[in-house]
Structure 1
Amino acid sequence: MNTKLLMSVSAVVLGVTGLCLSFFPEEISNHLGMTGASAILLQVLGALYFGFAILNWTAKANLIGGIYSKPVAVGNLAHFMIAALALIKLTVKDAGSLPYLWVATLIYVVFALLFGYVFFTSPALNNKPAKV
């Protein structure tokens, strides 16, 4: 599997989400009908997403999978798997939920499956002979 592509795409998705949550928490919380300290919680969540985006972007050139970059793979797997399960539970419980919730669930399920594959398989090494 091309882990460089996976790490880059996940970094972009998490980075955009993190920046939006960090810079527009009040607007997002108002749109979602949230009140109170939810804007601060969204801002903290945005910082978390942005931090994961930076981690994935800087680790994209590393060999990931098997024993290589295990903390990066297990961190991403845990994040995407736990969030995917929570989103599945929410969307199944409320079948008439908003369309963007279904989109978020689909994105999380896809990333959870891909990072699960990366975590539980050995990476293919590039066996091309070195150019002299």
Structure 2
Amino acid sequence: MHGMTKSDMKTKILMILSVAYLSTQGVLFTFLPQEVNAHFGQSTAGVGLLISQTLGAALLAFALLNWMTRSNILGGIYGKPLMMANFLFFFASGMSYLKAADSPVVWVMAAISMAFGFSFGYVAFTHPFKTS
């Protein structure tokens, strides 16, 4: 790609992968909340359903934000707020999944979330132009 460094390509791939993960969950929680909640033994009506749909909307919004910024220089002072938000979301959700892990699906979600958390943390706390 014209004018892109190796670091830019790695962060672009990270952003695209996070969009895929977030939007998949967002679509499931927004449009199939009863099925998702039933799969995990949660309420399929009332406030439980509302919380699932609201979570889905937030996940889709986060996916859209990541998609729209995928080509920006990330890390450094300009991309740091986005990287920190992603780091916090993925690390905290990964820890929550680990705490609640009782099925292979939840273990996989924990592993994916923690991998994203560590990746976004690395980008947030390193210089975007540093070469090794």
Give the shorter-chain TM-score range. 0.7 to 0.9
Of the structure 1 ranges 76-85 and 113-122, higher mean CA displacement relative to structure 2 is found in 76-85
Relative contact order: is structure 1 or structure 2 higher (C-alpha 8 Å, sep ≥ 6)? Answer: 1
| Structure whose CA Rg is larger | 1
- Tell me the TM-score normalised to structure 1 length: 0.85
Gaps of 5+ in 1: 92-96, 126-132
**Residues matched between the structures, number:** 121
Where does residue 25 of structure 2 map in the other structure? 17
> Given the alignment, which residue of 68, 71, 74 partners 1:64?
74
Q: 2:110 aligns with which of 105, 109, 113?
A: 105
* Other structure's SS at 1:67 match: helix
Greater fraction helix: 2
The match for 1:128 is: none
Structure 2: gaps spanning 5 or more residues: 1-6
TM-superposition CA deviations, 1:39-77 (whole Å, max 9, x none) = 111111100100000000000010001213121111101
**1:98 is aligned with what amino acid?**
S
- The letter of the residue matching 2:20 is V
**Within 1, Cα distance between the matches of 2:90 and 2:28?**
19
What residue identity is the alignment partner of 1:48? A
Q: CA RMSD in A?
A: 1.6
Shift >3 Å, 4+ stretches: none
